[in-house]
Chains A and B, each alone.
Chain A
Amino acid sequence: MLALDARALSKAYGKVHAVQDVTFTIAEGETFGLLGPNGAGKTTTVAMLTTLLAPSAGSARIAGHDVVAEPHEVRTRIGVVFQGPSLDAQLSARQHLRFHARLYHMPRDRALARTDELLRLVELEQRADERVSRLSGGMRRRVEIARALMHRPKVLFLDEPTVGLDPQARRHVWDMLERLQREEGTAVLLTTHHMEEAERLARRVGIMDHGKLLDVAEPAGLKAALGAEVVHLRVAAGQKALAAALARLQGKQGIGAAVWRGDTAEVPVAAADAAVPALLEVVATSGARLASFEVRRPSLEDVFIARTGRALRDAP
């Protein structure tokens, strides 16, 4: 069964279409990234999928249960880490987890065992009984993640989980989320406007802009669709010999025609891993010497710019 199945999900406020015809699925245990700038409709999509907002049209199922017709069934099966803070500053991490267990009707002994397990996972055992107001932003985020996992949800929603964190805290949260993917096997819907985050955590990525889902693919597939990888060969000596050799190689191993910019040959290739050995061999037999060698892959940022015509960071 699919962990999440959204079909033509839409939300309109009057004439404004916050979310329009969004369709995607998440398999059990899969991490899916919704990538887009602020205001793209990611959080609205999450609000509909987590039963907090009624869709204007379309439907969605969580582990087979309809978000509109069976909100209670859906709520027992999801864990949510909201975009903004959602802790009570005067309660401790342990108190938050305890209250959560009560709300989700967990038996007491199971709740206690799970609390210890998760506090260990998010590395907060030492600070578990302090008021969360005394914890750092990254630690609070980890409390929220642990809390969302308490009742072993089928789908974990992470709405911009590292927004507002400094780079070090962000990396720490990523490490933790990767460990969690290995140990918990929960399906995850991750929304982010952070390229690296999507590439690192998500198996598949959907690009969202102006309320529409533009493209869904594996990060590598999205980049491949944008174009081939390009091998940059900067020559120290023997440029002529190399140019001739490269021309003979064209068409083999998915290697395209080299474009020379000064002392650098830019060779488009279908897949770098297949093409690089052949290229290096040609360099060696031609007698040329290289000053540098680089494979450039289009980034998700390049994909985003190509699909939406603007960069993620300066998107309004």
Chain B
Amino acid sequence: MSDALAVCELELTRTWQSRAAVLAAFITPLAWLLLFGLAFDQGLGVRVGAIGYMAFISPGLVAMLGTFSSLGSGQGIGRDRDTGFLKEMLVAPVSRLSLVAGRGMSVALLALGQALLVLVLVALVGGGLPLPYGALSVLGAAAVLGLLCMGFLGAGLAIAVRSPNATTYQATIGVLTLPMFFLSGALVPISKMPAALQAAAYVNPMAYGIDALRTLLLGEAYSAFPLPLAVLALCGFALFTLGFGARNLTAKA
């Protein structure tokens, strides 16, 4: 555990040293909510169920931010392999899992910070979130977000360890992210998507993360899957990707 904390601390230091990355991490949610969400919400008057569009997409945005930074952090392990810094960690008396978990913790912390910003913004200008379970809604959502981050960190890592170089990795991630986002139900309820796209959403791990967040933050009426099923799917996804990634984590490509 202290090993994972050491890695987490290092990751936060590295993130903090890149001011542009920190700035981007907090401007992106602002842009989505205020420039995109607000336009649909108040410009077009779009509502989903009893809530405004901005509030509706906020769980999806939180999940998207966590997903993308987790994939990026998984890629960071690949970058550490390319620069050789990974060797320093692999030869230390530290388990591979704690190397990965430490990164996961740092990326989850960042995602939680972004989520907090989103919640506050929606409360201020988007009519607020229903939070059907009160404080438990928030704690549960934080846990789901952490789980989602672990899963996609593992996915990023799995792709990184299987890619011969950074270019291949980035191309693979680039091809995956946007379709995954649009097929996740982040912007449109899954039930309103065409049948073929709905089927695609069912095999999209991001969709389960967003759905669980919606159950917790908006209420069951806004979700497509029962919460236990979504959480189970996320657990399975995280275990698979982290296991695969950590097992294939070696010094050389």
Contacts and interface: CB of A to CB of B under 8 A. Distances in A.
Interface residues of B, number: 23
Interface in B196-253: 250-251
Interface stretch (B80-88, B145-153, B166-174, B175-183): B80-88
Considering residues B14, B17, B88, which has the most beta carbons from chain A within 10 angstroms of its beta carbon? B88
A47 B94 CA distance: 17
Contact of B91 (A78, A85, A90): A78
Contacts of B89: 103
A78 B18 CA distance: 32
B93 A104 contact: yes
A105 B2 contact: yes
Interface in B63-106: 80, 83-85, 87-94
A150 B250 CA distance: 24
Contacts of B84: 82, 84-87
A75 B13 contact: no
A76 interface: yes
Contacts of B250: 52
A103 B92 contact: yes
A91 B12 CA distance: 12
B78 to A, nearest CB: 14
A52 B90 contact: yes
A147 interface: yes
B93 A91 contact: no
A100 interface: yes
A104 B84 CA distance: 19
Contact of A86 (B10, B18, B85): B85
Interface string B1-44: 01100100110011001100000000000000000000000000
Contacts of B13: 91, 95
Contact of B9 (A89, A91, A102, A105): A102
Nearest to B84: A86
Contact of A80 (B2, B9, B10, B91): B91
B16 to A, nearest CB: 11
Contacts of B87: 52, 80, 82, 84, 86
Contact of B10 (A75, A85, A99, A104): A99
Contacts of B10: 99, 102
Nearest to B85: A88
B92 A88 contact: no
A102 B88 CA distance: 12
B71 to A, nearest CB: 20
Contacts of A86: 83-85, 87-88
A95 B87 CA distance: 16
A50 interface: yes
A302 to B, nearest CB: 35
9 contacts: A47-B251, A50-B91, A52-B90, A80-B91, A84-B84, A85-B83, A87-B84, A89-B83, A103-B92
